[in-house]
Amino acid sequence: MSLHTSAIERLCLRDIPLSSYSTYGIGGAANYVALPETVEDLTALYQDCQTKGLPWYNFGMGSNILFPDHPERDRVFISLKRLTELRAENGKWFVSAGTPMSMLSLMGLSGGSDQLDFTFLLPGCLGAGIYMNAKYNHRQICDIIDTVYYIDLSSSSFIVQSIPAGECDFAYKQSIFQHHPWIIVGADLKIPVHSEEQIQYMSSLVPAWKERGSHPSSLPHFFSFFLGEVHALAGKGIEAPQSMLDIIKYRTSKKHFDYPSCGSVFKNNYDYGVAIGSLVEQLHLKGTEHGGAIISPHHGNMILNQNHAKASDIQYLMQVITEAIDRKFGFVPEPEIVIV
């Protein structure tokens, strides 16, 4: 390749269906899709897009995104899911934005800590987990973050800056990153490095994930990779704690990995005090179908792609739920999934 090849030419796949990059399995063909593996390549892409006047869209594993059936032809779709570096530095962990959150639970397991158990089988990458302040039960991603590293896309130099977790305005499914054009590239965790064995184990996991788990963005792939790793650790005498076994039980009983989905479609309204899934159940909407989509019979706040659904089918069912909740309970639920 010539020295003058642009970053877009060098790094973009062409005419690729976005459906392979979202756990919804929905999304039409994009003209440009890039999966940079280093921050240098990521910034080179931004610079090239800026020079050529092309808009871009950043995402991770696509487990909280509804891509359009007909993406804009000019847009460069940039997934950070191959930006997966884990570094032990000064006794702490630095973790790149594309690392799956679920990998952190194995970091905890291999280091004898229960602080990271809640990330087990939580789909998506750490960058988006910080952006969304992803949570499971009462534990949130912000509990384990020390410092976040990000690129401010409004400054044309695209240099990496840092912000302490205490200044990130974390709240329920909220962070400062939702209010600024800041792209997270990694974070230091509060979790101490445990041992040389733990470092070696974690550095062997990253290439295994890249090779076997990360593509396509599919929930069965994701589930079988992390379940397999837990079994492999058990074979070495490191047994998963009850908290992780409970997560397997909960997520499999709710059929989280059986059909393409993006998890909960709406944020819970804590002022109202009843989970959206329960309200949908009270409204007898579970099992409602439209096109190839269905409101999950197992979890009222999930809409599944059961048979080649289109983005418009999912949006139709979201509208059905929104109108029914507004009519009966008097509020408009806020979407959790990001509609691109």
How many Å is the Cα radius of gyration of the chain? 20
> Is the CB of 95 or the CB of 184 nearer to ligand FAD?
184
Helices marked H in 121-217 — which ranges?
A: 126-132, 196-208
> Is the CB of 192 or the CB of 297 nearer to ligand FAD?
297
- State CA 246 to chain mean position distance: 21
User: Minimum distance from CB of 4 to ligand FAD (Å)?
Assistant: 29
DSSP E strands, the chain: 12-17, 29-34, 56-59, 65-66, 76-79, 86-89, 92-96, 135-136, 139-140, 145-152, 160-164, 182-192, 289-290, 293-295, 303-305, 338-339
Binding positions for ligand FAD, rule: CB under 6 A = 23, 58-65, 80, 97, 122-125, 127-129, 131-132, 134-136, 177, 183-184, 219, 256, 261-263, 338
Residue 117 CB neighbour total at 10 angstroms? 20
> What SS3 class is residue 12?
strand
- State CA 123 to chain mean position distance: 6
User: Minimum distance from CB of 275 to ligand FAD (Å)?
Assistant: 12
User: Minimum distance from CB of 22 to ligand FAD (Å)?
Assistant: 7
Instruction: Give yes or no for a cis peptide into 216 (omega within 30° of 0).
Output: yes
User: Minimum distance from CB of 81 to ligand FAD (Å)?
Assistant: 7
Closest CA to 271 of 212, 339, 327, 329: 329
> Is the CB of 8 or the CB of 247 nearer to ligand FAD?
247
> Is the CB of 111 or the CB of 277 nearer to ligand FAD?
277
Residues in contact with 75: Cβ distance below 8 Å, sequence separation at least 6, in sequence order: 30, 31, 32, 54, 55, 56, 57
Q: What's the CA gap between 20 and 79, in Å, rounded?
A: 12
User: Minimum distance from CB of 260 to ligand FAD (Å)?
Assistant: 8
Q: What's the CA gap between 340 and 335, in Å, rounded?
A: 12
Q: What's the CA gap between 281 and 164, in Å, rounded?
A: 41
Pair type for strands 86-89 and 160-164: unpaired
> Is the CB of 129 or the CB of 213 nearer to ligand FAD?
129
> Is the CB of 59 or the CB of 201 nearer to ligand FAD?
59
User: Minimum distance from CB of 80 to ligand FAD (Å)?
Assistant: 5
User: Minimum distance from CB of 169 to ligand FAD (Å)?
Assistant: 14
> Is the CB of 111 or the CB of 129 nearer to ligand FAD?
129
User: Minimum distance from CB of 136 to ligand FAD (Å)?
Assistant: 5
> Is the CB of 106 or the CB of 199 nearer to ligand FAD?
106
Distances (CA, A) of 222 to 155, 209, 214, 273: 35, 9, 7, 32
